[in-house]
A and B are shown apart, each in its own frame.
Chain A
Amino acid sequence: MNKKILTLKNITKNYPGVVALRDVNLEFEKGKVHAIVGENGAGKSTLIKIITGAIDKTSGEMYFKGEKVENNNPIISIEKGINAVYQEFNLIPALTISENIFYGYELVNGIVLDKKHMYEESEKLLEELGVKLSPNTIIKNIGIGNQQIVEIAKALVKKVEVLILDEPTASLTNSEIKNLFKIIEKLRKEGVAIIYISHRLHEVFEISDIITVFRDGELIMKKDTIEFNEDELVNLMVGRDLDKHFIKNVDSRNVENKKVLELKNICTKYINDVSFDLKKGEILGIAGLVSSGRTEIANALFGVDEIYQGHIFVNNKKARIKSPRDAMDKGIAFITEDRKNLGLILEMPIKQNTSYASLSKWSNAGIIDKVKEEKDVLDMLSNLKVRYSSIKEKVKNLSGGNQQKVVISKCLLTDSDIIIFDEPTRGIDIGSKEEVYKIMMELVKLGKSIIMISSEMPEILNMSDRILVMSSGRVVSEYKRGEVTSEQIFKDSASLLKGRDYGKKS
């Protein structure tokens, strides 16, 4: 009995000027979890897209169950049982969960949609995945974590022989991740080959059987997971020695006892009676589960959500913030977690994206001084070590880490004193993460203050001077750095959950 289900032979993919994949040979076996790791731009996404037929390979061959695959495309690969859950969601916001799960593969009675059957199947799947949501909920009304789970359900509802998961846990909470791992375990026992791509190495060690490391489009090493240790893996990925791959905000000497921002009893549609302050030079971490109201604090502060009650004080002066413009005028900048939809204009060049929020700085009577603009943009991009070939390049062509740095550059150019980072390192590679942390530390040294919303426990614990924990729209606890463990934060963040169907906004 041949366990090999998918074989790649000498796969190469060229883009103009770039070799995305170079001569890759790789085999995938049934009933194994194959982890693929590497920094952004290492070629992981390209590899998946070639397997699913979303893009054509330049040369090489692919065999499925010993048969050569020709003219591959996503429809053919799904029919074969190769299903991928991509990092970017492909859901239709206006349709329900159930409609999305069965999209393109609807169950029918004759020509009539078998809605009852699809509803029941979806319900069963959601339960298995540990989500308490009605299959009739409209996608746009559920949080990003739940959308990720719907994406996974969408793959599972089809015949699955090879399941590709690209950063599946990026927006999941710990309990959701546990559920996902249970499901992966079950699929593995059923003989499904799982290709698991993640930046979170502890997950890779926990779930995978075999790890393959990619760097700069090449396969660097493939071994059984038990033969790897974490330091070795990181070194292979990055290609250089990192004494430690996590930078720590070592001391709080930057924090001055001067309030730059204070929220008093703020209520919006999503948050309840939120009060806290932020000091000059401080990094204030906000932890909590997905849809606990963390981003909604930022939205209140940035004039996106209407404030029903309470007051905001900036530098001890009452501030009326009704729009992002007002917030920016008060010196607040917001680096959104959703860089593709809210942070960047993907089709616009890097330069225009970077300068977009601060054009007034270089303008006189509405006319832009393009020379000054370009100089400041170039300075900022090189300060933040953004890698690009030309600032005329569209920002969508950059890797996740570099896109994130463009978003940060854009916010920094506004010269704001208060900067909100929402999930600052979501979906970016270790090298870029490190650089983002360095940037944050530079900023507080310069006397700026940071609110950092994050789901990554190490980030919260190591970077914050103070930590707030949110649960169901309220701040439930506050800790100084070093006073709290991740277990305590998890407990706190679930403290107000009982009896509430979280994730569902009323």
Chain B
Amino acid sequence: MGKKAEQMFFKYGILMFLITLGLIFSIISPYFLTVGNITVVLRQISIVGICTVGMTMVILTGGIDLAVGATMALSSIILAKLLVSGVNILLAIILTLLVGIILGLINGLLINKMNISPLITTLGTLTIFRGITYIVTGGLPVYGFPKGFSYIGQGYVGMIPVPVIILALVYGAGYFILYSTKLGRYIYGIGGNESASILSGVNVKKVKYMVYAISGGLAGIASIVMLSRINSALPNAGIGFELDVVTAVVLGGISVNGGEGRLTGVIIGSLIIGVLSNGMILMSIGEYYQLVVKGVVLLTAVGLDNVVKR
């Protein structure tokens, strides 16, 4: 019986944590558990959430993509410039997605061809992409977009905000890829044992191109949502964003060594971060303290998980 309970905790530990957190906040603030507030939380996590799906795939292969924040910033600036110069919204969105995918492929190229480790590769491209963003804008924000554009970030379908719908679609697609396609199987396999994957005839390089391209493409989608939400492209947007994404993924139980963890855990990881910020704001805890709490939560959750695993 004791073992059963342990297994339950291992499997659902992160979920229990989320529920406990929710209970605490709903006791402290009666406003917390209202439809309005839950919608706010979901909308808040949508941008990070979209990128966690790509990051999950990258980390599962044993890599990491530190360039997501910079990719998002550069894509959003390009989108903003396109919109301001009067390009059709749909065309501009497609081009932005392409930009994101190409930036991701650059990461894949460096990792595959130059054999630079993912950490260093994406640290390098993070800096380069950010630099280009500043060069293109001269450090100034870009704004003044056509009217319809704000619908993506601010609109609703029924009671559900559009960004939340986009997030749900991205999760769904991610889940499908990871658990129903060859690509998904190979993503897990490569992170579990790259040499065995090569000997099993898997085109490991192609899979790596794919995951970095997906991560870049999702950063492109996130940039569209972000731009539409704040209606202005800031060259310094998304600084430190990659850390939020990695935090949610790791909190969700994805092993940084690759090959282990489920996407459902990542959804919960993202929710924990969203609930935590929201709850602390409701409790009027200062921003500086919030940072400390987030760090402590990450270490506690992952630490507990490891203790239980043993």
Contact = CB atoms under 8 A, between A and B. Distances in A.
Interface of A: 16, 302, 304, 323-325, 327-328, 334, 336, 341-348, 352, 355-357, 359-360, 363, 366-368, 370, 410, 414
A328 B185 CA distance: 19
A360 B186 CA distance: 12
Given A352-B188, A356-B185, A363-B181, 13 more contacts: A302-B199, A323-B198, A328-B201, A341-B195, A342-B193, A345-B188, A345-B193, A346-B192, A348-B189, A356-B189, A356-B197, A356-B202, A359-B186
B181 A344 contact: no
B180 A334 contact: no
A342 to B, nearest CB: 5
Contact of A342 (B188, B192, B195, B203): B195
A325 B203 contact: yes
A325 B180 CA distance: 22
Interface string B175-196: 0000011110110110011011
Contact of A347 (B195, B203, B259): B259
B260 A343 contact: no
B182 A352 contact: no
B88 interface: no
Contacts of B197: 345, 356
B3 A16 contact: yes
Contacts of B181: 363, 366-368
Interface of B: 3, 180-183, 185-186, 188-189, 192-193, 195-203, 259-260
B259 A410 contact: no
Given A344-B193, A347-B259, A347-B260, A359 B182 contact: yes
B308 to A, nearest CB: 14
A328 B199 CA distance: 9
- Please indicate which of the listed interface residues B181, B193, B201 has the most CB atoms of chain A within 10 Å of its own CB: B201
B180 A343 contact: no
Closest CB pairs A-B (n = 7): A345-B192, A357-B200, A328-B201, A345-B193, A325-B201, A359-B182, A366-B181
Given A366-B181, A366-B182, A368-B181, A348 B199 contact: no
Given A16-B3, A304-B199, A342-B199, A360 B182 contact: yes
A366 B183 contact: yes
Contacts of A342: 193, 195-196, 199
B200 A368 contact: no
Contacts of A370: 180
A348 B259 contact: yes
A223 to B, nearest CB: 38
B193 A346 contact: yes
A324 B200 CA distance: 7
A352 B200 CA distance: 12
A497 B227 CA distance: 71
Nearest to A357: B200
B203 A343 contact: no
B189 A352 contact: yes
A254 B291 CA distance: 72
A302 to B, nearest CB: 7
Contact of B199 (A16, A336, A346, A355): A336
Contacts of B183: 366
B199 A410 contact: no
B144 to A, nearest CB: 42
A302 B201 CA distance: 10
- Please indicate which of the listed interface residues B192, B197, B199, B203 has the most CB atoms of chain A within 10 Å of its own CB: B199
B181 to A, nearest CB: 5
B201 A324 contact: yes
Contacts of A414: 201
B201 A357 contact: yes
A304 B186 CA distance: 19
Contacts of B259: 345, 347-348
A370 B180 CA distance: 8
B51 to A, nearest CB: 23
A343 B192 CA distance: 12
A405 B147 CA distance: 64
- Please indicate which of the listed interface residues A367, A370, A410 has the most CB atoms of chain B within 10 Å of its own CB: A367
B236 to A, nearest CB: 39
A324 B199 CA distance: 6
- Please indicate which of the listed interface residues A345, A359, A414 has the most CB atoms of chain B within 10 Å of its own CB: A345
B188 A343 contact: no
Contacts of A368: 180-182, 185
A219 B93 CA distance: 71
A356 B195 CA distance: 13
Contacts of B185: 352, 355-356, 359, 368
Contacts of A302: 199
A241 B199 CA distance: 39
Contacts of A324: 198-201
Contacts of B3: 16
B200 A410 contact: yes
